Amino acid sequence: MFEARDVVKEVHRRTVLNGISFSFQAGRLYGIIGPNGAGKSTLLKLLSGVSSPDGGQLLMEGEPVGGIPRKRLARRLAVLQQGGLPPAGFTVREAVAMGRYPYQNWLGDEREDAGPMIEEALRAMGLADLQHRPLDRLSGGERQRAALAKVFVQETGVILLDEPTTHLDIGYQVQLMDTVRSWQKEKGLSVIAVLHELNLAAMYCDELLLLHQGRIAAFGPPEQVLTAGIIRDVYGTEAIVVRHPRGKAPQMMLVPGSLLP
């Protein structure tokens, strides 16, 4: 699906990504993790075609991402930007329906009625009762869920999520990630998500790519990436890593300085 070959990216004359190489396979859920400033959102912008590498190559199915025409790219991947939808003057349903843009003609029409798909997405995100409410009357978390519904109705094979659980309480975090994982498996989607919450990333992702100081510090299944030693080296903090009692996912318990020997 995606292949990075010695990718370099500079932002404001600072090297944010420094010669990274990796391969993401189709039909899996990947998490991009790392400390603040590690280059997570920068990498997602490269994957989405918003920006281009300053060195190396980033390919999607063998084709440079930056060379794919925007509307064709929008039929292949959908992006949930950090912060979700702005509080613009549209209703929830109108905003979600905008995800159908890549399939519409210049009059805004498409061949088949997208109504049932839009309604399914609204139900999945718990927004059916809010669909006629203006976005500017929603909470940040509700707008985030509306943004994800818009991504789903775009009906692409690849979904990129930039901190999708921002502004959500823990109940909606689990609901959102449950929905993403369910749709990913049901439809064979490829999902790449930037995540800050390591325990959440470990529970839902097939593989994790850990960035640190512009390079890949670790890449693989959560149990190989999230070890006490790697967390200490990358995040500079002590953690006790245990296995989730209802699965194999590693879970981190941070150790305050007062409890260190």
**Residues sharing a CB contact under 8 Å with residue 166, sequence separation 6 or more, in sequence order:** 82, 83, 84, 140, 144
The pLDDT score that the predictor gives to residue 198 is: 95
Domains of the chain and CATH, by start: 1-76+156-222 (3.40.50.300), 90-154 (no CATH)
Q: Please indicate whether residue 228 or residue 167 has the higher confidence score (pLDDT).
A: 228
Mean of pLDDT over the chain: 90
Q: What are phi and psi of 166, to 5 degrees?
A: -60, 140
List the one residue out of 144, 219, 131 whose CA is nearest residue 177: 144
**Which segment of 35-49, 55-69, 172-186 scores lowest on mean pLDDT?**
172-186
Q: What are phi and psi of 255, to 5 degrees?
A: -110, 110
The pLDDT score that the predictor gives to residue 80 is: 87
Report the percentage of the chain scoring pLDDT > 70.
94
**Residue range 17-40: mean pLDDT, rounded:** 96
**Residue range 190-196: mean pLDDT, rounded:** 96
List, for residues 199-254, the tens digit of each pLDDT value. 999 999 999 999 999 999 999 999 999 999 999 999 999 999 999 998 889 999 98
Query: Does the structure show a pLDDT above 90 at 9?
Result: yes
Distance CA 140, CA 150 (A): 15
pTM of this structure: 0.89
Confidence of residue 42 (pLDDT cuts 50, 70, 90): very high
List, for residues 113-126, the tens digit of each pLDDT value. 778 889 988 988 88
- Residue whose structure tokens are 């901190």: 163
List, for residues 102-151, the tens digit of each pLDDT value. 877 666 666 677 788 899 889 888 899 999 999 888 887 788 888 889 99
Q: Please indicate whether residue 76 or residue 141 has the higher confidence score (pLDDT).
A: 76
HSE at residue 55, side-chain half, CA atoms within 13 A, is: 12
